[in-house]
Structure 1
Amino acid sequence: MKQIKLKYLFISLAFATVLASCSKEKIKPTPDTPGSERAGLYVLNQGGIGHNNSTLTYYDYTLKKLTSDIFTVANTEKLGDTGNDLGIYGSKMFIVVNNSDLLDIAEAKTSKLIKKINLTQPRSVVFYKSNAFVTSYSGTVSVIDTTSLTIIKTINVGRSPEQMVVSNGKLYVANSGGLDYPDFDKTVSVIDLTTLAEVKKITVTVNPITITADTYGNVYVLSAGNYGDISAGISIIDNTTDIVKSQSDLSLGYNIPIAAYGDYVYYPTADNKIAMYNAKTQKLERANFITSDVTITAPYAITVDSITGEVFIADAKDYSSNGTVTAFDKNGTKEYSIETGVNPGRITLLNK
């Protein structure tokens, strides 16, 4: 849940408040072309739930120019209510707008809208071969052909599915059960990407939300716990056997994005540091990846550039005013910051 973070969403539901949208980065890899150069980066800003003020910020690398709401500029209409996820696949950009029940598909280089697809409270999007996969709080994953832009199949998974990741020819789906607070789900659905069928559910720590995978055969799942007697934690799944190889409690905050690239996995701690976990040794390497004098108040998204190794961290600040995205080199040194909209929840890189 991004504007008011994932945990806030579930807490508000407990008090019978309106549905919120919470999802954090998974930081799914976008299909990069080796040796390609970046044109810029997009930041999807969730805005405030129920305020219809989601925006799409674009930063042009060549011009060093920031466009605060490029979607509205390109389409003369608002993006919608609670933009929850963003991904670029080929020439198309897929924008998940949770509280508007929409998947917007636009031209990646211009943000010009191509098509809208209605889905029930969509949450997250990932890609594999010619298909886009979108979770919905209806307990499903919609399979969308990226050429025809039509739904070709709907797969039933667990309750209130959040983020997904593709690993070893399979799609792993974190089933949070967030809409059933305090009766959370605690499973990860495994979908065979050849048959497009669920083949297994894996039990993990209660309330799994964000998920990523490394190149060593590991799938990492961050769970928020039940906000009471069950702690937040991380479950690491072997992508060959689909068995949890390790499970441990973690001191996590309200925002729990996670990203993996190369030898490292990045995630925020309860004191808003960015932990740097070594995927090769399976040990925490640094308690705080950031080496510059930079304070992140509310880490809301993490993305790693697979070409440069740069790490981008979004800060939602107070969840009601404009946030920032800061770029760090692979050693944790600050390079620059840009201003974003309210609750910057997803960062995606655009190739030239």
Structure 2
Amino acid sequence: MKKLIPYRLSLAVLLSISLFACRKEPMPIPEDDIVVPPGPSTPVKGFYLVNEGNMNMNRASLDYMDLTAGLYRRNIYNQANPAVVKGLGDVGNDVGVYGSKLYVVVNISNKVEVMDVKTGKRIKQIDIINCRYITFHNGKAYVSAYLGTVGDPAAPNGIVAEIDTTSLTEIRRINVGRQPEEMAVVREKLYVANSGGYTPSNYERTVSVIDLNSFQVVNKIDVGINLNRLKSDKYGDLYVTSRGDYYDIPSKLFVIDTKTEKVKKTFDIGVSNLFIDDNSAYFYSTEFSYLTGGYVINYGIIDVKNEVLTDKKFITDGTEKEITIPYGIAVNPYTKDVYVTDAKDYVSPGTLYSFDPAGKKKFQVTTGDIPAHFAFVY
């Protein structure tokens, strides 16, 4: 039976392609400011939120939440960079802050946009074909990339590129598995989740282990098919999500002990995204099935110290009933406020929700299309 390609390239892609044929060349969206309740003074001053935008529409956009002033600024990239004709680009897939710079991975535009973290002004564009995610360590940025044409089952193995964050030039790259996704660094090793999402009949199922000194792959950990998210906790464990095959093989969450580099625990739950703060992994699941044509949506918290699924909830006031498709999540490490985004129908502006530590909604604001990726500013 023919199966479609990854989660991010399924429903959202089909909807965007159908719309693309009847729209004119998209124009950059102007900035818009929204007043929200200000937060307490903490080392976290705010956060950037990348809206993915629909494929082939150049609708990726960048928002900024000023927590101190109580101001949500939408579409700040276009305001800061008016000479960039098509705005941020096509499908914003990740964001990170390192030092004085802000990095946004723009997947279909094949680039990493590097900006001044205070102003959002472009410093440089780094070209990497079909780039996906970014992480940082010891003055270097590491970017995973699929390479090849989007959706091509004959695409080559993916790579991880090492970028010097001072010169903003690529230093080295190393081959990993097919269609690599998220990464994390633990004890001078970089762990990379491989998906193989372009060949559903032959998904990847490994995490590549890269020694950062030699920049060589020193191990491949067998985990599960179609891997996606990969987060590290403070105990040196990795939490890795498997999306299954959307048919008979369900989604799961695996825990890897990086000392032994083996899977030590499996949670039989679907996890689409998670954010680990201290001893808690906050997660949501939007598990899609081609058999039913629908989603099963859940929210939860895992105790990463004891490695157990708790009965705690981070939304307690019923607001989850308002959320159509949860698509991004982050937790303020100081206030413990939880931020959840709603992608809605993937073709119209989404919503950002803020919840206090008791799970009560503090506010909500309208975002760009498909709000997804957070980066805190200190």
TM-score by length of 1: 0.87
1:100 aligns with 2:109: yes
Change (3 A) 1:11 1:291: closer
Q: Using CA pairs under 8 Å that are at least 6 residues apart, name the structure with larger relative contact order, 1 or 2.
A: 1
1:337-348 to structure 2, matched below 5 A, reads 337-348=364-375
From 52, 55, 63, the counterpart of 1:57 = 63
2:38 is matched with none
1:7-156 to structure 2, matched below 5 A, reads 7-9=7-9, 37-76=43-82, 77=84, 78-138=87-147, 139-156=158-175
Q: Distance in 2 between matches of 1:121 and 1:160?
A: 9
Cα deviation, 1:18-50, whole Å, max 9, x if unaligned, reads 9xxxxxxxxxxxxxxxx9623322110011011
Change (3 A) 1:8 1:91: closer
From 268, 273, 286, the counterpart of 1:257 = 273
* Contact persistence 1:102–1:122 (CA under 8 A): yes
Change (3 A) 1:151 1:122: same
Cα deviation, 1:44-67, whole Å, max 9, x if unaligned, reads 001101111111011222332222
One-letter code aligned to 2:186: S
- Alpha-carbon RMSD across the aligned residues, in angstroms, is 2.1
1:281 is matched with 306
Cα deviation, 1:177-201, whole Å, max 9, x if unaligned, reads 1122332111111112232221111
Q: Tell me, which stretches of 5 or more residues in structure 2 are unaligned?
A: 19-40, 148-157, 288-295
* Contact persistence 1:189–1:200 (CA under 8 A): yes
* Contact persistence 1:120–1:137 (CA under 8 A): yes
From 201, 220, 232, the counterpart of 2:220 = 201
1:255-334 to structure 2, matched below 5 A, reads 256-269=272-285, 270=287, 271-286=296-311, 288-295=313-320, 296-334=323-361
Q: Distance in 2 between matches of 1:193 and 1:304?
A: 29
* Contact persistence 2:253–2:270 (CA under 8 A): no
Q: Distance in 1 between matches of 2:335 and 2:250?
A: 35
* Contact persistence 1:55–1:71 (CA under 8 A): yes
1:24 is matched with none
One-letter code aligned to 1:328: F
Q: Distance in 1 between matches of 2:238 and 2:356?
A: 25
* Contact persistence 2:12–2:54 (CA under 8 A): no
Structure 1 range deviating more: 90-99 or 63-72: 63-72
Superposition deviation, residue 342 in structure 1: 0.5
One-letter code aligned to 1:112: K
SS in 1 for 2:162: strand
Q: Tell me, which stretches of 5 or more residues in structure 1 are unaligned?
A: 19-34
From 245, 248, 255, the counterpart of 1:236 = 255
Structure 1 range deviating more: 137-146 or 278-287: 278-287
* Contact persistence 1:266–1:277 (CA under 8 A): yes
One-letter code aligned to 1:96: V
Q: How many residues align?
A: 326
Percent of aligned pairs sharing the same letter: 38
Q: Distance in 2 between matches of 1:294 and 1:11?
A: 24
One-letter code aligned to 2:299: I
1:184 aligns with 2:203: yes
2:150 is matched with none
Q: Distance in 2 between matches of 1:195 and 1:265?
A: 32
Change (3 A) 1:167 1:130: same
Q: Distance in 2 between matches of 1:174 and 1:37?
A: 31
Superposition deviation, residue 241 in structure 1: 0.9
Change (3 A) 1:12 1:112: closer
Q: Where in structure 1 do 4 or more consecutive aligned residues deviate above 4 Å?
A: 10-14
Q: Distance in 2 between matches of 1:225 and 1:43?
A: 28
One-letter code aligned to 1:292: D
Structure 1 range deviating more: 294-303 or 117-126: 294-303
